[in-house]
Amino acid sequence: MSQVIQIVRTPADLRAAMAAWRKAGLRTALVPTMGALHAGHLALVAEARRRADVVAASIFVNPKQFGPNEDFARYPRDEAGDAAKLREAGCALLFAPEVGDVYPPGFATSVKLAGLPDVLCGAARPGHFDGVATVVTKLLATARADVAVFGEKDWQQLAIVRRLAADLDLGTDIVGAPIVRDGDGLALSSRNAYLSAEERVAAVALPRALGEAAAALQAGDDVAAVLDTARGRLAAAGFGPIDYVALVDGATLVAIGAPTPGARLLAAAFLGRTRLIDNLAV
């Protein structure tokens, strides 16, 4: 596509652009990202275009969701390349603020949910989902889009966003888009760029272990034994530490003892210095 993508930097400019679209009678969509865009992100844009007349995307590496020893400083950034990808994907607007635009001097508010952020990735990364919830609430309240699209790869994040949007009556329909995978099954992630060539080969053990576990659960095997086997397969492939391999209710994230409608099998583990996550419906 040859269209020009509009780039705005401030919440006020994002609010004005989205309001102008609504005034023109257009259905609007928002795709929040942290940049370093890959085919998975562009699939979110494609889903948003199916559901709306115009699509805005955001790129913001949110410092509030990174812990003190995490990868905020080295997280990959390529705004020019990302803007070109969004333009080609049919995105009409890019919101790319600086940290000071989102958290100006004196900013003192945090959005915290009960329960959902305290398990799984939240237990391994304290405070992470408070940062996610705060920035997503700001984005949704500012944009007031009809629909916002998030990837299912971070299932816990998706569940949290759905809950906060409903609890705070933000008026935006939250849509989850399916995971996009490489040919060998590894879920696409900006952090995959951190993997060495050897680690990239080993990383496929994560989706394979989950696939085997899902099949075993559907066959009626004991849940605890299946999860232990999956952890063992990951450890044998070089993963460690393994934060969790869990079978949970997809909405509440509560651990369950048998597959039920809406159940989700989730895992998070380190391969070298890179933390990978993945999940499957069961």
How far apart CA 38 and CA 125 sit, in angstroms, is: 24
Rounded to whole angstroms, how far apart are CA atoms 117 and 140? 19
Beta-bridged to residue 56, according to DSSP, are 30, 93
* Spatial contact of 214 and 189, defined as CB atoms under 8 Å apart: no
Any idea which residues carry the catalytic annotation? 41
The H-assigned helical ranges of the chain are 11-23, 39-51, 79-88, 99-102, 121-124, 128-143, 155-167, 197-203, 205-218, 223-236
Beta bridge partners of 244: 268
The answer to whether residues 241 and 270 touch, using CB atoms and an 8 Å cutoff, is yes
Phi, psi of 35 (to 5 degrees): 80, -160
SS3 content of the chain, % helix, strand, coil (to 5): 40, 20, 40
Q: Which two tokens stand for residue 279?
A: 């999940």
